[in-house]
Structure 1
Amino acid sequence: MSRSLKFLETDRRTVLRGGVAAAVAALGGGVLASCSSEGSPSGGGGGGGGGGGATVDLPTYQRFEGATPDFPAAAEGMNEGFRAYPSGPERMITDDLGDGEVISFMTNIPGAIPPTRDSNSFWQAVEERIGSPLEISMSSNDEYKDKFATRIAGGDIPDILNIPKDVAQLPDLLEATCLDLTEYLSGDAVLDYPFLANLPPQSWPDTRFNGKIFAVPVPRGMSRTSAPIYRQDLTEAAGISEANPGSFDEFMDLCAEMTAPGANRWAWASMPSQYIQQMWGTPYLWAEDGGAFTHMYETEEMLGAIEDMIAVWAAGVVNPDAYTATGGAKKQWLAAGTATFIHDSFVAWNQFYTDNPTITEMRLNMLDVPGRDGGQGSPWMGAANNNITAFNAETTHDPEVLLAIANWMAAPFGTEEYLFRKFGVEGEHYELTGTDPVPTALGSSEVGIGLQYISDAPMALYLPGRPDVPETQAAVQAAMVDRLVDDASYGLYSETKSRMNAQLEGAVNDAMNQVVQGNAGIETFTDAVETWRVNGGDAIRGELEEAYAAEHG
């Protein structure tokens, strides 16, 4: 590149960065609609790439033939399941990955903030393994959106950046601050990074904007599909041998059976709004038909679902504090047995066990979705990615160094790299029971430093020492997979959506919650939907339809 052209590119980035910084500063904490923790249902199946309508070849998919699953994925989208960790896992990468210089990374942390590098033996072991010091700036899920906005606005950008999918003006942010990775990842170029090539094809549209690939995905997919997780030990103790209801009426009977307010027990920790919508077959956010887009708010099925939500709340089968309690409190209700059902994901399913090791009687399962009046309902596919990870355009590190580290972070289940990255060093951070790594107290404290948000392998159904868990999870996924409904807006960029979606949908959801609790009539919801259309919903629709037309011709 000539000096003059390089100057022009640098000047262009400066102008773009200034515009993005101004937008972030103006939006403040609202720059992110949300920063959902692992295991929590998140709004939207995507909302990623395709900005500007330009096309680029996404990375070639090349499956890594590694460990043989006990429960193979019977259909596209399912997670593979394993009863135990394979014995004698092979180390696939022996070369140094880093360049010996400090690599900085910014991320959220879903659990407790771990000890700092100086007092964290796992962190130090990771640095030794990759060949570079890692400077990791961590924030809790609740704080991350504000700290992200502040650092972007101030131009304080690390080498590696965990970017939630719902950042406002994401294409401009990427153009202004992040490396264009197209030459390294597009098409067969990704095959130089075989573990990135092993990531699901449906994860990559989130990384493509304006005809370029700017990031690597952190895949989730069906592991983030959410449905009612329930305490099977409690339903069986109540004499219910088969908890899956076949209709809304049977669902109500089940809820009544598991509710005893006098004993401080309610069937539900939270209002099962999404579950009821799925019974009715409402779209997952946006539906597309012939290039025309319809939001779930605009459907007759949504009105029917709200009517049933009103009946559920009036029946008193939901904890009366459900609308004011935190997500953490609701999870504690399930663990304590004061709630039987909670709407959450396969990721959360495992987390309930790991967070509550002393509740040995707890056995979890997940309800399938029936049709409202019988038959089968329409569960929603989980978000393709947890986040995307981009690299600072002004990093002093070679892009291939950062990509090699991301590739290492994506080493799949069954490899030695995966075992080390997830569980640490044997004898320090975990002990083997058979071939399964069981975390020690030190491991539970130190290992959660956020590496899974640089990149990650496709999720596997697995819980150390609990072969029954992946077996149950695989059966649930197999029953659902052929009926999963996608958000039609996934992979399509809408500028209005990126800036306003949180406020627009928040107002409608607030209105719905008031209606469900009996504080307002249904016209409050329908009026809110009309306001949503006028204030931005119709603009989002138009932009999605335009992006869809550009993508599909």
Structure 2
Amino acid sequence: MSVSRRTFLGGGLAAAAVAATGTPLLTACGASQNDVAAANRAVRLPTFTKYAGVTPDLPSDGVVLDGFLKYPANPVRAITEAPGNGRPITFLTNIPGAIPPAADRNQFWQALNERLGSELQISMASNDEYKDKFATRIAGGDLPDILNIPVDTAQIPGLVKAKCLDLSEHLSGDAVQKYPFLANIPTDFWKGCVFNGAIYGVPVPRGMSRTSLALYREDLLAAKGIKDPRPKNFEEFFDLAKELTAAKQNRWAWTRVPLSTIRQMLGVPNVWKENGGKFSSSYEDEANQEALESGRKMVAAGVVNPDAFNDKASARKQWFNGGIAAFDYDSFVAWNQYYADNTAGDAFAVNMLDVPGGTPWMGGALNNVTAFSKDSKHSPETLLKIANWMAAPFGTEEYLFRKYGVAGRHYTLQGTDPIPSKAGVVETGIGLQYISDAPLSLYWAGKPEVPRKQHAVQQKIAKQLVHDASYGLYSDTQSKKQAQLARTMTDLETQIIQGKKPVSDWARGVADWKAAGGDKMRSELEQALADTAGK
């Protein structure tokens, strides 16, 4: 399943939230769907004001991200006053890497607390364990001051209505200018923070940075004499995969079956498509049959690592870094992470293919929504100042500290570029990016060719990107049932591409999906769109 698709928590979290709030979450809103949609439509989203204090080497156009060939010299400290109030502030979050040393053994965390003017107490869990921890905390009513809410959380409207602060008066329209780095987050990202006719959180933006395509090991392809791969269709794409496979040498073209890439080649929608107020799901597109046939063909030809169906994402990343596989389907964020995890030395180089003959999917708008507990003893202003500090953009001194730590311990300067030390990698990974974050800038310390390549790819795909039409719309059925239904569909497609079931079973699977909730999701999304449009 593509990383740009949404997957949703099942009924367990919804049940936990009901236990915490004492009421089913959607009805906790206390209004009909139509009334809620009208109230959401009336919300004034924060006024976007792009930060002008740093000039990128490779400018954004509103879709393509800003790129920097080096870190700006003498970065400006943009916030002169500590945002905290001297009292501890608690935060619950996931961590994408290993759990870092605790604050009493973590010099970065200690320096952070000093800068914030408040001790930041972070309760963290790995990505795999976070949703269970989140559900447990919600069910127990034990909420921190700052809460990282995954966008696929079941029935968010009732949860935030019952447990979180309404931030509208502080963020609507020009009010956000009091927090200039929150104002630097483009308006569209705030749509995912509006519930019950109010702004209930701060967005952690992704969008283009989370857009995923076929990443490839440029150095491995170059060793085969392939310098600028541009397959125009599936057959050329397949031929390239066969050329890069040498199973006897433990080398395969792909870390997994590139179904998302194949679907994009064939014009399959990005989650949901809308036309004239009518919605259709990516599952329903007839091109899925051809995509599944093509996936089966790649498996049968042996161009995919045979362990792809058994191992987790972490294993796939190791295969790519270790040269066991030349291609992986992932995002611009992952592109940078591959350089961070590189074990191949200076020769290691990554690039990205455009979709051969098709249209790429825009990445999901948000990583998470950051909300503040109603029971917090801190003022909304204090918590928003903390979020604003965390959103200071690339090129500022705050960003340099937040991402790289303290010079001498966590990084050394190579010219003006911060090169992380081992201590820097270990100690800085405490999840600050999930309180708030600036839109990603394209950059890799000491390697200006990385942002150049990334910027060139983004310029190529920017006008072709296909968006998920359901973004900013709420379906209660989708919120509660999509996780289980998506797992069922993923299991079916896996069995089909492995040759364990015929492609014809897909149509039956789609019919079952529709009956089990897909049709209801569609009607709810259509109604939400009509209500939001004021029809």
Matched, 1:253 2:239: yes
- What is the alpha-carbon distance in structure 2 between the residues aligned to residue 473 and residue 247 of structure 1? 22
Q: 1:462 to 1:541 in 2, by over 3 A?
A: same
- Return the letter of the residue paired with 1:233: D
- Return the letter of the residue paired with 1:183: E
- What is the alpha-carbon distance in structure 1 between the residues aligned to residue 447 and residue 431 of structure 2? 24
1:294 match: secondary structure: strand
1:138 offset after TM fit, Å?
0.8
1:4 match: none
2:518 match: 537
Match of 1:65 among 48, 52, 62: 52
Say whether the 8 Å CA contact 2:213–2:354 is kept in structure 1. Answer: yes
1:522 match: secondary structure: coil
Match of 2:410 among 429, 444, 448: 429
1:300 offset after TM fit, Å?
1.5
Query: How many matched pairs?
Result: 509
- Return the letter of the residue paired with 1:425: V
TM-score (norm 2): 0.93
2:53 match: secondary structure: coil
Match of 2:200 among 186, 210, 214: 214
Matched, 1:224 2:210: yes
Say whether the 8 Å CA contact 2:207–2:365 is kept in structure 1. Answer: yes
- What is the alpha-carbon distance in structure 2 between the residues aligned to residue 78 and residue 164 of structure 1? 25
- What is the alpha-carbon distance in structure 1 between the residues aligned to residue 382 and residue 349 of structure 2? 44
Match of 2:401 among 405, 411, 420: 420
- Return the letter of the residue paired with 1:413: F
The 5 A counterparts of 1:385-400 are 385-400=366-381
1:53 offset after TM fit, Å?
4.2
Matched, 1:22 2:19: yes
1:169 match: 155
- What is the alpha-carbon distance in structure 1 between the residues aligned to residue 450 and residue 36 of structure 2? 40
1:25 offset after TM fit, Å?
11
Matched, 1:462 2:443: yes
- Return the letter of the residue paired with 2:438: A
Match of 2:275 among 274, 279, 289: 289
Deviates more, 1:82-91 or 1:356-365: 356-365
1:221 offset after TM fit, Å?
1.3
Q: 1:281 to 1:83 in 2, by over 3 A?
A: same
Match of 1:483 among 456, 461, 464: 464
Over aligned residue pairs, what C-alpha RMSD do you find?
Answer: 1.7
Say whether the 8 Å CA contact 2:289–2:506 is kept in structure 1. Answer: no
Say whether the 8 Å CA contact 1:181–1:212 is kept in structure 2. Answer: yes
Identity %: 55
Matched, 1:184 2:165: no
Q: 1:353 to 1:520 in 2, by over 3 A?
A: same
Say whether the 8 Å CA contact 1:21–1:154 is kept in structure 2. Answer: no
TM-score (norm 1): 0.90
2:345 match: secondary structure: coil
2:6 match: none
Gaps of 5+ in 2: 1-13, 25-34
- What is the alpha-carbon distance in structure 1 between the residues aligned to residue 16 and residue 385 of structure 2? 32
1:235 match: 221
What are the superposed Cα offsets for residues 443-468 of structure 1, whole Å, 9 maximum, x if unpaired?
Answer: 11211111110000110000101111
Q: 1:23 to 1:132 in 2, by over 3 A?
A: closer
- What is the alpha-carbon distance in structure 1 between the residues aligned to residue 429 and residue 227 of structure 2? 38
Q: 1:51 to 1:321 in 2, by over 3 A?
A: farther
What are the superposed Cα offsets for residues 98-154 of structure 1, whole Å, 9 maximum, x if unpaired?
Answer: 111110000000011111011111111111111101110010001101000000000
1:309 match: 295
What are the superposed Cα offsets for residues 284-324 of structure 1, whole Å, 9 maximum, x if unpaired?
Answer: 01000010000011111222212211222222111111111
What are the superposed Cα offsets for residues 43-65 of structure 1, whole Å, 9 maximum, x if unpaired?
Answer: xxxxxxx9644221111111110
1:45 match: none
- What is the alpha-carbon distance in structure 1 between the residues aligned to residue 503 and residue 335 of structure 2? 34
- What is the alpha-carbon distance in structure 2 between the residues aligned to residue 18 and residue 332 of structure 1? 37
- What is the alpha-carbon distance in structure 2 between the residues aligned to residue 539 and residue 62 of structure 1? 39
1:18 offset after TM fit, Å?
9.8
Say whether the 8 Å CA contact 2:237–2:356 is kept in structure 1. Answer: no
1:80 match: secondary structure: coil
2:329 match: 343
1:123 match: secondary structure: helix
- What is the alpha-carbon distance in structure 2 between the residues aligned to residue 181 and residue 224 of structure 1? 27
Q: 1:319 to 1:357 in 2, by over 3 A?
A: closer
- What is the alpha-carbon distance in structure 2 between the residues aligned to residue 323 and residue 98 of structure 1? 47
1:358 offset after TM fit, Å?
5.1
Match of 1:452 among 422, 427, 433: 433
- What is the alpha-carbon distance in structure 2 between the residues aligned to residue 426 and residue 520 of structure 1? 56
- What is the alpha-carbon distance in structure 2 between the residues aligned to residue 480 and residue 24 of structure 1? 44
Gaps of 5+ in 1: 1-16, 28-49, 372-376
1:531 match: secondary structure: helix
- What is the alpha-carbon distance in structure 2 between the residues aligned to residue 283 and residue 219 of structure 1? 22
1:81 match: secondary structure: coil
- Return the letter of the residue paired with 2:19: A
- Return the letter of the residue paired with 2:48: Y
2:354 match: secondary structure: coil
1:19 offset after TM fit, Å?
8.2
2:532 match: secondary structure: helix
2:492 match: 511
- Return the letter of the residue paired with 1:68: T
2:317 match: 331
Matched, 1:262 2:254: no
The 5 A counterparts of 1:91-240 are 91-240=77-226
Say whether the 8 Å CA contact 1:51–1:494 is kept in structure 2. Answer: no
- What is the alpha-carbon distance in structure 2 between the residues aligned to residue 507 and residue 23 of structure 1? 29
Matched, 1:552 2:528: no
- What is the alpha-carbon distance in structure 2 between the residues aligned to residue 186 and residue 143 of structure 1? 34
1:24 offset after TM fit, Å?
9.5
- What is the alpha-carbon distance in structure 2 between the residues aligned to residue 25 and residue 529 of structure 1? 35
